[in-house]
Amino acid sequence: MFLEERQDIILSMLARDGKVKVRELSEKFKVTEDCIRKDLGALEKKGKLKRTYGGAVRLRENRHMVEVSKHRHTDIEAKQHIARAATKLIHEKDMVFLDISTSNLAIAELLVTMDFDVTVVTNMIDILVVLSRNPKIHVVFAGGKINKSRDGFWGGMTLDFISKLKPDIAFVGAVGVDVKENSVSTYDIDDGINKAAIIRHSKKAYVVAEARKLSSDGNYNYTTLDTLSGLITDSEPPADIRAAADSYGVEILVP
């Protein structure tokens, strides 16, 4: 087997399993462990993986900050699946917090079509606009310092307002969810501080994230999974991801 062919197979195994071990690869390809280490070193230099003690793991994508508006028309079907699962958790008279998230915008777009008497608190401008179309929904806006690229408000005033609330349920967005490392991340520190406060002050809190975000990372870890009531995503995760979530007592909900 050519070196390039062996390395391609290693990358395929990594994509499937998330990790590989030197000893197992050595036995599989019938080459020395030192040969496998050289393969992993070469692949790491190409930015294909991250070496660890005894093997390597799949690289997680670091999704750099972009404007929220550019995400509105991506993964539409996935966000609709998430919205359906989320709205099943909302009850009459609930106070619901929807923070800055295009998945939460999808929740708002579904919620506005429903005959629900609820109070929704949000710091996202587009969610405010959507929910204002339904007179049965009582909308409370958490203002503060505007961040135009993120389509919402955060900062000290927003944080102070959040600290005075006790929502029945909250849904918070994420850029990345690393279940095995017990971390949830976003782009911006101020956004992350707000999200952490929302989780802390809510009776129940769920992170909403498309399945692709289970292999992505932001720049700021704002909470751990064991602070959450659950994680809502659009498709069934791999068994090892669900097992890791179970170990933290976190339920993964799918439509």
Model pLDDT, residue 65: 46
Per-residue pLDDT at 61 exceeds 90? no
- Give the mean pLDDT of the chain: 89
Neighbours of 61 (CB within 10 A): 13
pLDDT at 99 over 50: yes
Q: How do residues 115-149 score in pLDDT, each as one tens digit? A: 889 999 999 999 999 999 999 999 999 988 887 66
Confidence tier at 150 by pLDDT (50, 70, 90): low
Taking 80 as the threshold, does the pLDDT of residue 113 lie above it?
yes
The label of the residue with tokens 């929302």 reads 198
Average pLDDT for 149-168: 89
Instruction: Say what percent of the chain tops pLDDT 90.
Output: 64
The encoded tokens of residue 173 equal 């967005």
Work out the average pLDDT over 220-247.
Answer: 93
Whether 2 has a pLDDT exceeding 60, the answer reads yes
CA–CA gap between residue 189 and residue 210 (Å, rounded): 21
Q: Which residue has the higher pLDDT, 144 or 227?
A: 227
The 10s digit of each residue's pLDDT in 183-208 is: 999 988 889 999 999 999 999 999 99
